Amino acid sequence: MIPRPYTYLSALLLFLTSPYYTQAFDFSTIDVGKAVSGGSKLAKAAGGLSDDDEIKVGREVAANLAARYGLVEDAARVRYINLVGQAIVRHSERKKIPYHFGILHTSEINALAAPGGYIFITQGLLDTLKDESELAGVLAHEVTHVVHRHIVKAIRQADLVGAGQDLASAAGKDVSQYSQLSDFSINLLSNGLSRGDELDADKGGTILASKIGYDPTGLRRSIERLAAKQKTDVLMGRFNKTHPPARDRLKAIDQTLKRNHLAESGQQLAERFRRNIPAK
């Protein structure tokens, strides 16, 4: 006579080892190697591209902008833009990557931040500015896009760098995928980041400029001036396409100024600006 507990136990053992059970939970379907590498990619996906990858993609985007528009190569002017830019970077939360500031040779009115610290302002936008605090506000807006990795976030949202994918990493082993990232970023800059990211950059840029000692209303004044041109100036087509309406931006900046108790104070440096960027 078999005791009752053993009867149930043997029944259970037979059930667990039956072919149906092993098929339903088929461990052979799990690729262990993939799971292990997937773990590291999960970490990568969580953080987005590595800094090196981001810089490489950004360099491609920068070279594309340079080919399409050309860069102003007036040494004094480029140096001045970079001094203002580097002053901003010193107070940013992402100082480990190198930043480069260039002037795009076009009368179009716009400013752009490629991934990895390549930042551009057009000669057209530069011509509308009145002082250094406005320039600082514009560049701080672009630096905030890089600091908050807005393009990298968009790349992830488009699933171009998923956990199951091998990014064409540092050496650019997979040229097609690498090129895909660059093309995506170039098109994104042309079509615009999300409205939320733009407003985030306005807020971040306003605070960042104030940390250096610039008048924190510089970005606000530049947007307000552009708003007057916005409806009539054909050179603002792409700017309008890639940025939210001025009223929304001004509202977001006003809220930031109020919440952070930032008043119209600090340096505007109109004379130094005009010395380096002569009026048209």
Partner 1 sequence: MRKNKIIGILLLLAAPACLADDSSAPQKKVTLQDLIQNAAGSPTETPAVAGVRGLEETNGPIDTKARDYAVIDRLEHLGLHEDELKAFLDEGKLQ
Question: Among 51, 92, 97, 212, which residue interacts with partner 1 (rule: CB under 8 A)?
Answer: 212
- Select the span of 55-63, 170-178, 200-208, 253-261 touching partner 1 (CB under 8 A): 55-63
Q: With contacts defined by CB under 8 A, how many residues of the chain interact with partner 1?
A: 91
The answer to whether residue 263 forms part of the interface with partner 1 (CB under 8 A) is: no
Which value, in Å, is the radius of gyration of the alpha carbons in the chain?
A: 26
Please give the Cα distance from 105 to 108 (Å, whole number): 9
**Could you tell me if 201 and 145 are in contact, meaning their C-beta atoms sit under 8 angstroms apart?**
yes
Taking residues 67 to 96 in sequence order and writing x for each that binds partner 1 by CB under 8 A, - otherwise, the string is: xx-xx-x----xx--xx--xx--xx-----
Phi, psi of 277 (to 5 degrees): -125, 85
- Select the span of 137-145, 205-213, 215-223, 252-260 touching partner 1 (CB under 8 A): 205-213
- Select the span of 16-24, 169-177, 200-208, 254-262 touching partner 1 (CB under 8 A): 16-24
The answer to whether residue 176 forms part of the interface with partner 1 (CB under 8 A) is: no
Please give the Cα distance from 15 to 236 (Å, whole number): 72
- Select the span of 139-147, 220-228, 230-238, 250-258 touching partner 1 (CB under 8 A): 230-238
Taking residues 129 to 148 in sequence order and writing x for each that binds partner 1 by CB under 8 A, - otherwise, the string is: ---x----------------
Q: How far is CA 88 from CA 100, 129, 143, in A?
A: 12, 18, 8
The answer to whether residue 177 forms part of the interface with partner 1 (CB under 8 A) is: no
φ/ψ region of 70 (left if φ > 0, alpha if ψ in -120 to 50, else beta) reads left
**DSSP state letters, 23-92:** HHT-GGGS-HHHHHHHHHHHHHHHH-S-HHHHHHHHHHHHHHHHHHH-B---HHHHHHHHHHHHHHHHTS
The answer to whether residue 11 forms part of the interface with partner 1 (CB under 8 A) is: yes
The answer to whether residue 192 forms part of the interface with partner 1 (CB under 8 A) is: yes
